[in-house]
């Protein structure tokens, strides 16, 4: 299993290169030209932005680095396990409160 940062970086880099490929096809087919500014120029700009984001995620800095951490398998497994345990504990506490409330309401209804 690869690190989340490696996977995100590869995905962003591939998408950025794909945007440059779209730009190349647009220039070759004549749908884009270098003299006029059109909506087609969004693809190379987006491609450059995605490649920059890819490098920033891989280096561990930037706006997406906290979403895709640079963790090893063991660290990732422990973090996910602790999050699952916390979620299960919260669910069991919520279930216990619901049972307590149901029993209180049942006893109040039986008294009336």
- Residue 78: the pLDDT is 85
Confidence of residue 69 (pLDDT cuts 50, 70, 90): confident
Least confident of 29-38, 43-52, 60-69, 100-109: 60-69
- Residue 79: the pLDDT is 80
Number of folded domains that form the chain: 2
Q: Are 85 and 56 in contact (CB under 8 A)?
A: no
Regarding whether 111 and 76 lie in a shared domain, the answer is yes
Regarding whether 32 and 2 lie in a shared domain, the answer is yes
Regarding whether 63 and 30 lie in a shared domain, the answer is yes
Regarding whether 77 and 33 lie in a shared domain, the answer is no
> Distance (Å, rounded) from C-alpha 53 to C-alpha 43?
15
Regarding whether 31 and 78 lie in a shared domain, the answer is no
pLDDT of 65 over the 80 cut: no
Q: Are 65 and 57 in contact (CB under 8 A)?
A: yes
> What is the residue range of 32's domain?
1-70
Regarding whether 96 and 86 lie in a shared domain, the answer is yes
More confident call, 18 vs 74: 18
């Amino acid at each position: 299993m690869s690190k989340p940062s490696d996977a995100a970086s590869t995905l962003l880099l591939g998408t950025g290169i794909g945007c440059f490929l779209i730009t190349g096809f647009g220039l070759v087919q004549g749908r884009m030209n270098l003299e006029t500014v059109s909506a087609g120029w969004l693809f190379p700009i987006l491609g450059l932005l995605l490649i920059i984001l890819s490098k920033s995620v891989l280096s561990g800095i930037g706006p997406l680095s906290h979403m895709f951490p640079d963790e090893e398998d063991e660290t990732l497994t422990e973090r996910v396990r602790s999050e699952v345990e916390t979620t299960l504990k919260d669910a069991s506490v919520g279930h216990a409160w619901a049972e307590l409330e149901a029993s209180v309401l049942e006893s109040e209804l039986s008294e009336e």
